[in-house]
Structure 1
Amino acid sequence: MHSSAPHFKPSNAAWSRPATTAGSPVNSVGGAPDAPSAAAPHANRAFAVSVTEASPAVGADSTPAVQLLTDTLLEATRRDASDLHIEPAEQGWRIRLRIDGVLHEFARPPSHLRDAFITRVKVLARMDIAERRIPLDGRLRLTVAPGRTEDYRVNSLPTLHGEKLVLRRLEALPSTLSLDALGLDPLQGEAVAAAIRAPHGLVLVTGPTGSGKTLSLYCFLQMLNAETRNICSVEDPAEIQLAGINQVSVRENAGLTFAVALRAFLRQDPDVIMVGEIRDEETADVAVKAAQTGHLVLSTLHTNDAPAAIARLIDIGVEPYNLAAALRMVTAQRLVRRLCEACRTPENESGTALRAAGFSADQVGGWHPYAARGCPACHRIGYRGRIGVHQVMAVSDATRELIVARAGAHAVAKQAHAEHVTTLREAALARVRDGTTSLAEALAATEIA
């Protein structure tokens, strides 16, 4: 692989010169929130700050700090970064961007800008700027271009060397969101569409953190969103607002848990219920019983693959008979990076290595998989964007019998194989075969599957 580190060009010079014109880029994130106190301890409300608003000074070096924040946010938008990390160190500090699931360093700014930079973010996110001893949460909305706003969830963490901030970009759903865009092949897409259009039952999406489970659920909800359906969702937190759907955010400190919200939903005449995550026996029990009583329930679970989800729910405490009656489908997924089509190159992998990865002898032949190289179009990374690889397991009568018998994940996986259910590794290798991703990426994404 010939990939190298991405090449960023932050405008370092601007970080040390004063602003002279209101409305220039230096003021893009300099607007003061129209709140009585910027240090309000409760930061659950988002508010807009215009890129053209002039800024009162945060401190003596606030203008360069605002310019740096502007540069960072614009680069994050341009590169479609999911998270921004502001990290203090014993000497200095750095800013990193998570792009397609991988962290890349953006800048190591001058040390004297750190406190002003962090204070500006906390002010915009309505976090208590005087509190540096405990983690804090905030949320902000910035207008980054005419007609375009960006939402961020902000978290601060006190470390040995100062406050660390992480800004999570909360993007609107893509207009092109579909089962195909998620990465499902045509047969998988048909199976999922049939499951989520059923009048009742439990549909689970499984995978580790950051595997795209929530986006898949949002896609399902958008497909079901119609005037004829009452759809309710509970998440921790509700990150993207969906028109026409009754969204609830978990507030455990106020007693609003997943299970409490679920019970309330059942008195709201729902057709479809979405639960952000099944974490405990109480939530699992209510979700399964809701699916048995005429409701379609969609949720996520943290397991390595689809068969393991069944064993996980039984371990949590769900009665096998109830689970067998309610469960309609389990999908598992991972995200793999897409190769940059402008620079991908064939790689001379040996036939032995390809067969060891899972390719059959007749697939290998004279074929060579593509590998990442790096070019200006992909900022020398070799990849641009990500796509899902999926395992889609509809629950058959034979599988229901295994559930009632408390069969383990291995027995369920064996039955799924007999029913020609594609494994995550096989789905990832199919993306290698069609040139979407590299062999190294496919193997890394499915090494625990």
Structure 2
Amino acid sequence: MSSLKIGEILVKQGLLKPDQLALAMEEQKKTGQRLTNSIIQLGYLKDNQILRAVEKHFAVPGVEVNTFEIDATVIAMIPKDVCEKNTLIPLQKAGNTLVVAFADPSNIIVKEDLRFITRCRIQAVVGTESAIMSGIEKYYGGSISTKSLNTMGVGDEDDFILSAGPATEVIDQDGGSEDAPIIKFVNSILADAIRKKVSDIHFEPYEKKYRVRFRIDGNLVEATAPPAGTAAAIASRIKIMSKLDIAEKRRPQDGRLKVRTKAKEMDFRVSVLPTLWGEKVVLRLLDKSNLQLDMTKLGFEEDDLKIFKSTINLPQGMVLITGPTGSGKTTTIYSALAELNQPDVNISTAEDPVEFNLEGINQVQMNPDIDLNFSSALKSFLRQDPDVVMVGEIRDLETAEIAFKAASTGHLVVSTLHTNDAPGTVIRLTEMGVAPYIITSTVNLIVAQRLVGKVCESCKAPVEVPAQTLMNLGVPQAEIGDYKLMRGKGCANCNNTGIKGRLAIYELLAMTEKMKEAILKGASTGQLRFLAREQGMRTLRRSALLKLKRGVTTIEEVLNASVKDT
């Protein structure tokens, strides 16, 4: 309840004079405490008088919270952050009814969310703000052990610890099954996703159904789905775990949460989006144990790897990694930073978001609320004596100008752009407003990339396809006999998809003298591509075909990840 509202209630009922309210509000500003505390300390009213006033105003039974001895299992039903945010505290549970003391019991949305979270009927009573906050401090302290937040389908040995900030919620398996089916369901989905090495989880509400999908090795597959009526409860549960606003259902929200089992720790990036039939929630799994920092295992061909390694070890200049979202750019950049991460090298990164923590690297999370963006972070980096700077993305001319300035003044700059191929990156920069002479004097290498699925090693088998099919992909007729195609039959190891894991395909455009000359003359994307191929650039399609030739990937993956060379 706002300070103004409680003050108005007390004045309206004749318990407080307007000048007393003004003095109490002044005292509140000085001390930072709640208005009711100031009123009591100034001797204007007692706590029980305030309680009777709010009881009368809301026409809800009033309770003295400090007279209750609250059971730990009841406290565990509602997380501490929800109690603090909404000034409420659970008092007791009888059957399927949970009695909750509110400072403002008129908030219907919060009561509805609590019903979804706890799966109980909520009986609202009113208490004073000071008594409720004292109760929260007494019963919750710094953290909360929530026995009711049990897991379903996690396995006998896996207890979860969920944290999204300073406090940690311990999720035990011994809670009553009737209390928290939504909590159990969400936990089981998270556990299943971790086991299956899922990259993203989609919770999608529709008019007559609710769908849950996993993205595994680039493909979306349906998972166990709950009834459509649970959509709001599932969204609320995930928002609580991510420290998001459960009452806000109109705007998109972003957050993070952490899950730790006895076997593994996992970070999740959370995105909540209001849709026609409810809130769609997508969780991105940030599995550091799956982060591949060994460049030799990313998918580089041997000659391309030599070029990439030698370029990132130059003392200054710029390396650009390009491709759409989900093409593996972050992994490539992190592998480059890991290669450069030595005791005598100072590395700073500006990321949105920071996906993985890298020991020895100064990583900065962007925060638009305080104007901490890529350009402002870059300006600060240049005063931090950096050797290597990584910018998550060059999105505008201001960021580009600072990045190019850094790259031309003794720093190695690594960044990304969203372009379709390496030659197109040059045109994208010029369209952004970067002068061609700056590009040619600063950029050392442009790397375009995509991801292709790998044929499952457990169930792969030779497969024959017509020669014409390979020729349609761009395979020269003379090379067709060299192709040893493989396909996964489908097994438990690959979820019966035939695909297990992914590799990158790369296209490297080096800034040679001829390339610089062409850029300065205003060459088109097509002309730059022709020149680059003439100078030995292996296109994305050619890189994909080499993996097809060795039986590492499939024709479908080649078609999905690349276009035919013209």
| TM-score normalized with structure 2 length | 0.69
What are structure 1's unaligned runs of at least 5 residues? 1-15, 35-42
Match of 2:464 in 1: 348
- Which of 306, 322, 338 is residue 190 of structure 1 equivalent to? 306
Match of 1:420 in 2: 536
Q: Distance in 2 between matches of 1:94 and 1:175?
A: 28
The yes-or-no answer on 1:435 pairing with 2:545 is no
How does 1:85-124 map onto structure 2 within 5 Å? 85-124=202-241
The yes-or-no answer on 1:250 pairing with 2:366 is yes
Q: Distance in 2 between matches of 1:141 and 1:270?
A: 31
**How many equivalent residue pairs?**
417
Match of 2:294 in 1: 178
1:391–1:427 Cα contact (<8 Å) kept:
yes
Q: Secondary structure at the match of 1:431?
A: helix
| Residues 280 and 46 (structure 1), Cα distance of their counterparts in 2 relative to 1, 3 Å cut | farther
- Which of 429, 443, 446 is residue 562 of structure 2 equivalent to? 446
Match of 1:7 in 2: none
Q: Distance in 1 between matches of 2:243 and 2:481?
A: 60
Superposed CA RMSD:
2.5
Q: Secondary structure at the match of 2:438?
A: helix
Bigger shift: residues 320-329 or 243-252: 243-252
Match of 2:255 in 1: 138
Q: Distance in 1 between matches of 2:405 and 2:289?
A: 30
Q: Secondary structure at the match of 1:84?
A: strand
- Which of 376, 385, 392 is residue 501 of structure 2 equivalent to? 385
- Cα deviation for residue 341 of structure 1 reads 2.1
| Residues 256 and 444 (structure 1), Cα distance of their counterparts in 2 relative to 1, 3 Å cut | same
Bigger shift: residues 65-74 or 275-284: 65-74
2:161–2:171 Cα contact (<8 Å) kept:
no
| Residues 255 and 448 (structure 1), Cα distance of their counterparts in 2 relative to 1, 3 Å cut | farther
Residue-by-residue CA offset, 1:31-68 (whole Å, 9 max, x unaligned)? 8978xxxxxxxx7x47644344766x8xx965222221
Max radius of gyration: which structure?
2
How does 1:34-73 map onto structure 2 within 5 Å? 45=165, 48-52=168-172, 62-73=179-190
- Which of 126, 145, 150 is residue 266 of structure 2 equivalent to? 150
- Cα deviation for residue 177 of structure 1 reads 2.1
1:88–1:94 Cα contact (<8 Å) kept:
yes
Q: Which amino acid aligns with 2:480?
A: V
Q: Which amino acid aligns with 2:206?
A: A
Q: Secondary structure at the match of 1:386?
A: strand
Q: Secondary structure at the match of 1:145?
A: coil
1:51–1:144 Cα contact (<8 Å) kept:
no
Match of 1:288 in 2: 404
| Residues 199 and 62 (structure 1), Cα distance of their counterparts in 2 relative to 1, 3 Å cut | farther
Q: Distance in 2 between matches of 1:92 and 1:23?
A: 25
How does 1:319-330 map onto structure 2 within 5 Å? 319-330=435-446
- Cα deviation for residue 92 of structure 1 reads 2.5
- Cα deviation for residue 244 of structure 1 reads 1.1
Match of 1:8 in 2: none
- Cα deviation for residue 429 of structure 1 reads 0.4
Match of 1:11 in 2: none
1:135–1:155 Cα contact (<8 Å) kept:
yes
| TM-score normalized with structure 1 length | 0.87
Q: Which amino acid aligns with 2:324?
A: P
Match of 2:480 in 1: 364
What are structure 2's unaligned runs of at least 5 residues? 1-118, 120-146
| Residues 309 and 123 (structure 1), Cα distance of their counterparts in 2 relative to 1, 3 Å cut | same
The answer to which structure has the higher helix fraction is 2
Q: Which amino acid aligns with 2:301?
A: D
The yes-or-no answer on 1:75 pairing with 2:192 is yes
- Cα deviation for residue 70 of structure 1 reads 2.1
